[in-house]
A and B are shown apart, each in its own frame.
Chain A
């Protein structure tokens, strides 16, 4: 805000026109504190007792900070407590000495009157200005709000970009993995077929040898047959991995289904059904059986001390959980990321295809599979499936 008080005084321009809308009061006072010009909220006289305090602080906000008051004594050094070297402290000078001190070096920002047409004793000595700060605070609030909005927008944009970048990276990684799986699938399909033919020949020839064998060679032929069967099983499982993992889904009641599977295992598996009513899921029967059996076999093989294994069935309104809990050696943290990768195994005779097949089957019907470490040891393998209303 810029206004010219000198011009207003000289040319009789109304002060309210000179000072603008935000000024609530304006006053000009002589050296006795009497009003020379006064408008609005400006006091009739300058309370001289405040003079010293005014030197301390020219500007002051009122309590609620809605207005700003400026009281200024002009024609003097702005801070009489620190006069220029060799000068007296102005606070102790008499009234008439103030005119002398007006000639002292002054702060450039401090207004002075030098118009000689106005007699010295009629020259303004004090200015009073009270301004409304509401417009200022409004602007300030608007600015803060705009800045806050801008920063929020920028932060949001940053988070969004980061999120998109992360998603894109995950998508690319997944795409790459899928490409690799396709190549792997093609390679596995060819390999599986190429292995099956010679394996069939070996199997038939072993059968012939078995017919002709003596007791001495019978044991050797038995081992050969077992190994052939292992290879046949592997090719069969690779085939399952390659095939459409959804298979032929049908509605399965899990309690009876799980009990049927468990009859094929030893009695050291404890089964608990925590569902309050029958739970149904939609899954290819053979593939769900294969998935549960895989996890139970893993649980059995992971515990060299042959401790008990638990199989729990539980449900929520729209999910069913099958948990297989063992007390085995667990999964070291460094391989947790790769245990589901095809052909990854820590077993001496493992193919590394079991867990990847299980995950493929479970995810194909919209389920999830997780391996959660247990305390003090072991794993909880958890299959979560969508529940079908019975």
Chain B
């Protein structure tokens, strides 16, 4: 199983990668929304873990693009803000 992690914070990317690898999950990381988009165009992932707020293409914009492209990949949004409104917007 291959998972895409998109987050602009290196430590969060690395931590998630290391944690999931211990569970036997293959992880590919992208440092921003644009890199994530390019990876999604090339490869198929079992799931995406996407940070909500990123410079450039935000997590929400990336999610909208994924759905517009007709990709059925499950997306997990993560945010340090923890705002209900953002979560509702993401759904």
Contact = CB atoms under 8 A, between A and B. Distances in A.
- Whether A associates with B in a native complex is yes
Contact of B22 (A196, A208, A236): A208
Interface in A191-205: 193, 196-198, 200-201, 204-205
A204 B82 contact: no
Contact of A197 (B18, B19, B22, B80): B80
A255 to B, nearest CB: 29
Nearest to A203: B15
Contact of B82 (A208, A211, A236): A236
Contact of B9 (A193, A197, A212): A197
A245 interface: no
Nearest to A212: B22
Contacts of A80: none
B49 to A, nearest CB: 11
A74 B87 CA distance: 111
A193 B53 CA distance: 12
Interface in B25-58: none
A201 B15 CA distance: 6
A196 B78 CA distance: 12
Contacts of B15: 200-201, 204-205, 208
Contact of A196 (B11, B16, B19, B82): B82
Interface residues of B, number: 12
A185 interface: no
A239 interface: yes
A207 interface: yes
Nearest to B81: A193
Interface in A168-202: 193, 196-198, 200-201
B11 A201 contact: yes
Contacts of B9: 197, 201
Given A197-B9, A201-B12, A208 B18 contact: yes
Contacts of A205: 15, 18
Nearest to B9: A197
Nearest to B14: A201
Interface string A96-113: 000000000000000000
A339 B13 CA distance: 42
Interface string A58-102: 000000000000000000000000000000000000000000000
Given A196-B80, A239-B82, A211 B22 contact: yes
| Of listed A193, A200, A207, A236, residue having the most chain B CB within 10 A | A200
Nearest to B18: A208
A97 B78 CA distance: 127
B19 A208 contact: yes
A128 B64 CA distance: 115
Contacts of A207: 19
B16 A204 contact: yes
- A-B pairs with the 9 shortest C-beta distances? A196-B80, A204-B15, A201-B11, A197-B80, A201-B15, A208-B19, A204-B19, A205-B15, A193-B80
16 contacts: A193-B80, A196-B80, A197-B12, A198-B11, A200-B12, A200-B80, A201-B9, A201-B12, A201-B15, A204-B12, A204-B15, A207-B19, A208-B15, A208-B19, A208-B22, A212-B22
Interface of B: 9, 11-12, 15-16, 18-19, 22, 78, 80-82
